[in-house]
Structure 1
Amino acid sequence: MTSRPYLNRRTLLRRSAAAGLVTVPALGALSACASGGGSDNEPEERGETSADNPFGVTDSELEVVIFDGGFGDQYAKDAEAIYEQSYGSVDHTKTQEISSQLQPRLVQGSPPDVIDNDGAHAMEIAALIHDEQVYDLTELLDAPSLDDPNTKVRDTLMPTIVEMGQYGGQEVYQLNYAFTIYGQWYSRTALERIGAEYPQTWDEMLAVCEAAKREGMAGWTYAGQYPYYFNFTMYPMIAKVGGPEVLAAIDNLEPNAWRHDAVKAVFEAYYELTARGYILEGSPGMSHEDSQDEWNQYHALFIPNGSWVENESKANTPEDFRMAVGAPTGLDSSDAMPFGTLWASGSAPFFIPADASNAAGGLEFLRIMLGKESASNFTKLTSSLTCVRGAADDLELGPGLTSAKETFEAAGDNLVLPRIQDWYSTLNNEDIGGAIADMMAGNIEPDEAITRCQNAADTVAQDDSILKTRHV
């Protein structure tokens, strides 16, 4: 099916934003623009509902915007093709500039119907929720799943997915489509070349890095331009050392949460990597692609990352690399949680704007994506798991994803879920990430990095204009 032969107002706004003709208001200005006022979309008219069409989708155009990152967008196009078999045409756009292109349209009241709000330039979802600009997805979760009408969508999802979409209440505002295993990614081949086992304690980590150094290989590299990548291993290590309640205190912006002994121990451990010269030279200035390329060339043993890395770096990964991921290394036997403790949770967050002109179509599109056909297709295309239970069970997986699945299964109930990265993304990515970046570059020591993290968290805690969410 082809797109409609006319340009509606939201299509004009989308093209204007892409061309830089629409200015983006400051976040404070966005906070003053609640949804429901000034929308130029006509009220949505739903059709009759049925077992096959639980949301009453009518034959109207659906607009979908996908983040053009490590997962690409082919998986979305394939799901859109399924949608078009029964409903209207799909206007598909991919971009890395999510905020600059879409935030003006949300303010104007003419947003797309579905947004993959991902990447370094994602919109602050908490602020959008606060301004009532996000559609409640509870209707989707309580609908019959695509493959089994006797099973609700919510009952097909992996652990933590529903929780991740909640912001201080029972409503669910976003769907994290991918299921990511965060940890220390490495090459089994490289580890074997230096005659080492995967390190479970920090003394073992230092010994492995020293062995790598003797063979001309750095112990670690990382994306210095995106230093929050270090959080993918540091956060679960903090929970492992001190218990999950330490992460909960950090998420809740509690006073002195960053000064907990577990945080200090982890920062000092990571700083030792820098002090001993185990970080690949040049890492502080690298992009994620740069650091992954260096890692793929056996220039460094470990890299903090998520399970999207297998697909994102596949063009430069040697055939003999044997990519794998391990649970974050702990401190020692005094740790509060066992080795294997893992951060495994949803990523690739999707939401439907409150002012979407085809919210019913957006709900149905997400229901299609949560069907086994689309979920399995995503895994085949991206080498990443989805939030759908069992969707990858019958697939032949690459070495990285096979390792990720095994590491997740070995973790059992020892899963942690840091929320600061989606509750307060600017704090996480820029302030805390920046402090860790300076520490890992050797510019500051752990105590100063901790002070900066705590001061930044206190500033957010005291800012009444920022929506607060808490663990209960």
Structure 2
Amino acid sequence: MSQSTGMPGEMNRRQLLRRIGLTALAAGPGAGLLSACATAGSGGADARTPATPAATAATSAANPLGVDPKKPLEVVIFNGGNGDGYATGLHQPLYRKAYPQAEIKHVPTQKIGTQLRPRFVSGDVPDVVNNSGPEALDMAALAAEGHLADLTALFDAPSIDDPGKKVRDTLVGGVQENSLIDGVPHVLNYTVAHRALWYNAKLFAAKGWTVPKTWDAFLALGEEAKKAGITLFAYPGQVGPFYQVWNLVYTAAKIGGNQVIVDIDNLADGAWTNPAVLASVTAWADLQARYGDKAYFGLDHTQTQIKHLQDKVAFYPCGSWLENEMAKDKPDSFEYAIAPVPSVTATDKLPAEAIMVGVSEAFFASAKGPNPAGGLEYLRIMLSREGARGYTERTKNLTVVNGVAEGLDLPPAVRSAAKAQDAAGRNTITDARFESWYKELFDHSQTQTNAVMAGRVTPEQFCANMQKKADEIKKDSSVSKQTRSA
């Protein structure tokens, strides 16, 4: 469970803005606007105080969060692999059904940061944000500024489908733990994610290839793939190197156990120089040098995924949204299937079947938006049976709501992921949280990953460079620190 170590008392507004990525605005002609924003609507309150949206109407059994039925609602959706049709065709109509007088403004974008950073400075903030994609906002910094609503009321509210249950009692494990920033639930991760290696089951069947369970078998398959003119493994070096960051970290956890990830997230001394991290990076850099293709460092995720669909790449590291993202391009000759990363050593702490299972696709309600109660209600509707089941039908991604996907006709990728999760049992790899806790560290990890995979730095230098950045962040009093125990 995550908990706060406390916000440094001397953190100032400029330091917070630097974390959100707004120092250029703060230093420029808009400085006056920032000063106004610092006082407007804050009432002089400490920005560290968790913001709990107050009900704007009388609460009742039908309206437990006190939503003003006439207030408009603005929803910003990352229009990426999952599209935005689930919002316009499902969740928003459900909100309108409950509150027919409420006008909903829908804003789709692939540039969350570019569009929303200036708005959070000016105070013109949307009510609900799907904070996803390569330009995702720094959640810890937004929380420190008091922008993220406290989700306690949401989790404690009655479920739409069974008022005898609280919303929290309808969700899979890990949702609330992963919602915490400074000990307060601020983020709703809506989907269950499986991050591992994806391959074409039809290609493997045609070639007579077996999915490798050991690293030696992985390398042997590399020779077979090479003879067939297929690159064994590739990841996108542009707009997507974080896929390989995950791969390196989760492989390290397979070698050394989940404590490796916990230590990285906690900024523990020597976390990045742990022998398990070095062994993971060494193994992947060696595999890249032998059976990779540097041309992929210049491609983005869509371009690389097209190559994968063309059977020019055998294994591709990604999350379980992949099939839906590529549905329009996928030929009939391709059937997505998921494979855990092979065991690297004979003494790995986790077995070959171990696979990463976590929660992802972050949503938040704005504490300083015009309709904070409506924002929480929108999330409650998303967590209803109809909202969650419909999302899975449309996006082919499982949500964090228990039992709602039973009986659905799911595509091969989702069935494969579910089968892999069953095979892993309790041997699952925990999700890394430094991605959202320390965006500067996560951004640095992408640069360093490209460097080590391209052979520009050694695995030892990668570990040292990452540890140096982690130590800098640990010593930076302007960065709110988070901790977890598992």
TM-score normalised by length of structure 2: 0.87
Candidates 79, 82, 85, aligned match of 2:97: 85
Whole-Å separation in 1 of the counterparts to 2:269 and 2:278: 15
Amino acid at match of 1:244: N
Aligned to 2:23: 26
For the aligned residue pairs, the C-alpha RMSD in angstroms reads: 2.2
- In the alignment, is the contact (CA less than 8 A) between 2:37 and 2:122 conserved in 1? no
- In the alignment, is the contact (CA less than 8 A) between 1:327 and 1:342 conserved in 2? yes
Aligned to 1:63: 74
Q: Does 1:153 align with 2:167?
A: yes
Q: Does 1:75 align with 2:89?
A: no
Amino acid at match of 2:358: S
- In the alignment, is the contact (CA less than 8 A) between 2:366 and 2:375 conserved in 1? no
Q: Does 1:431 align with 2:444?
A: yes
Aligned to 1:296: 309
Q: Out of 380-389 and 101-110, give the one that drifted further.
A: 101-110
Whole-Å separation in 2 of the counterparts to 1:391 and 1:421: 29
SS of the aligned residue for 1:64 comes to: strand
Aligned to 1:141: 155
> After superposition, what is the alpha-carbon deviation per residue over 1:353-396, rounded to whole angstroms, capped at 9, x for unaligned?
11011111111111111111111111111111111112211201
Paired residues for 1:306-325 under 5 Å: 306-325=319-338
Q: Does 1:231 align with 2:245?
A: yes
User: Post-superposition shift, 1:36?
Assistant: 7.8
Cα distance change on mapping 1:362 and 1:34 into 2, 3 Å = farther
Unmatched tracts of structure 2, length 5 or more: 1-20, 28-33, 44-52
Aligned to 1:450: 463
Q: Percent identity?
A: 37
Aligned to 1:244: 258
Paired residues for 1:257-276 under 5 Å: 257-276=271-290
TM-score normalised by length of structure 1: 0.90
> After superposition, what is the alpha-carbon deviation per residue over 1:106-145, rounded to whole angstroms, capped at 9, x for unaligned?
2222211101111111110001111222110010001111
User: Post-superposition shift, 1:28?
Assistant: 9.8
Paired residues for 1:4-403 under 5 Å: 25-26=22-23, 29=26, 37-39=39-41, 46-58=56-68, 59-77=70-88, 78-87=90-99, 88-169=102-183, 171-225=184-238, 226-276=240-290, 278-403=291-416
Q: Whose relative contact order is higher, 1 or 2, with alpha carbons under 8 Å and at least 6 apart?
A: 2
Amino acid at match of 2:234: T
Cα distance change on mapping 1:124 and 1:33 into 2, 3 Å = farther
SS of the aligned residue for 1:386 comes to: coil
User: Post-superposition shift, 1:302?
Assistant: 0.3
User: Post-superposition shift, 1:442?
Assistant: 2.3
Size of the alignment, in residue pairs? 445
> After superposition, what is the alpha-carbon deviation per residue over 1:156-193, rounded to whole angstroms, capped at 9, x for unaligned?
11221111111231x20010112111001111122223
Whole-Å separation in 2 of the counterparts to 1:45 and 1:189: 54
SS of the aligned residue for 1:374 comes to: helix
> After superposition, what is the alpha-carbon deviation per residue over 1:20-64, rounded to whole angstroms, capped at 9, x for unaligned?
xxxx7328959x9898831399x9762222222111212211110
- In the alignment, is the contact (CA less than 8 A) between 1:183 and 1:342 conserved in 2? yes
User: Post-superposition shift, 1:94?
Assistant: 0.5
Amino acid at match of 1:412: G
Cα distance change on mapping 1:29 and 1:390 into 2, 3 Å = farther
